[in-house]
Amino acid sequence: MLEQYGVIPVVTFRREEDALPMLGALCAGGLPVAEICFRTDCAKECIEAGRKAFPDMCIGAGTVLSGAQCADALAAGAQFIVSPGYSEEVALLCEERKVFYLPGCATPTEIMRALAAGLTTLKFFPANVYGGLSAIRALAAAFPQMRFVPTGGVSEETLAQYLAFDKIAAVGGSWLVKGTPADAEEAARRAVRIVHEVRG
């Protein structure tokens, strides 16, 4: 479900009132998708507000570490769930609720566990620390059925090289939302241009 965007902005809101301007800016920049991290207390409210204000946007929850957090995220309207690692209870809940789950897997053993659960798209995190594109190429050779979403340390400068590899479903990152909403709109526009250039 994330392939169609190519890039997933990963955003942690410190205040609920920051959510709508930033999400609106991403939409205006042509990137109507965001992963809102459950790293702050207002994450749930931000997802709820975003879903209501931008019904055509695809809004997911990130840094979901437990089944309880996953249930909270789904209650808020999260359309996909991301974890930094693989969580059995989150996987089960997502399967039950028919929601796309993107767990972080960085080793062959973790990938095999996710595969056994029927998952074929995985977050590769933190991508820059675990070997970047060359690690993904090596893993993809062993797991041809898998597609990866590298996240962590990816930037506008490295986006194209990741997207050029056909085993990359999409790329995630917070670089898009580092500045003001106006900055994010421009960053989104540039990222969308790169996606089109690389994928045609």
Among 16, 35, 178, 186, the active-site one is 35
Look up tokens 């709109």; give the residue: 185
| Contact window for ligand 3PG (CB under 6 A) among 46-54, 69-77, 93-101, 169-177 | 169-177
123 has catalytic annotation: yes
C-alpha count within 13 angstroms, C-beta hemisphere, residue 54: 24
| Contact window for ligand 3PG (CB under 6 A) among 17-25, 41-49, 68-76, 152-160 | 152-160
Taking the alpha carbons of 82, 85, 89, 95 in that order, is the dihedral positive or negative? positive
Contact present, 20 and 50 (Cβ < 8 Å): yes
Taking the alpha carbons of 30, 105, 19, 156 in that order, is the dihedral positive or negative? negative
Which of 57, 29, 14 is CA-nearest to residue 156?
29
| Contact window for ligand 3PG (CB under 6 A) among 46-54, 114-122, 129-137, 151-159 | 151-159
151 near ligand 3PG, judged by CB under 6 A: yes
Q: What is the total count of residues that contact ligand 3PG (CB under 6 A)?
A: 13
Contact present, 32 and 53 (Cβ < 8 Å): no
153 near ligand 3PG, judged by CB under 6 A: yes
**Which residues share a beta bridge with 35?**
10, 60
Contact present, 56 and 81 (Cβ < 8 Å): no
87 near ligand 3PG, judged by CB under 6 A: no
CB of 58 vs ligand 3PG, minimal distance in Å: 16
35 has catalytic annotation: yes
Strand, coil or helix: what is 124? strand
172 near ligand 3PG, judged by CB under 6 A: yes
- Interaction mask 33-62, ligand 3PG, x per CB under 6 A: -----------------------------x
- Residues forming contacts to ligand 3PG in the complex (CB under 6 A) are 10, 62-63, 84, 125, 151-154, 172-175
Residue numbers annotated as active site: 35, 123
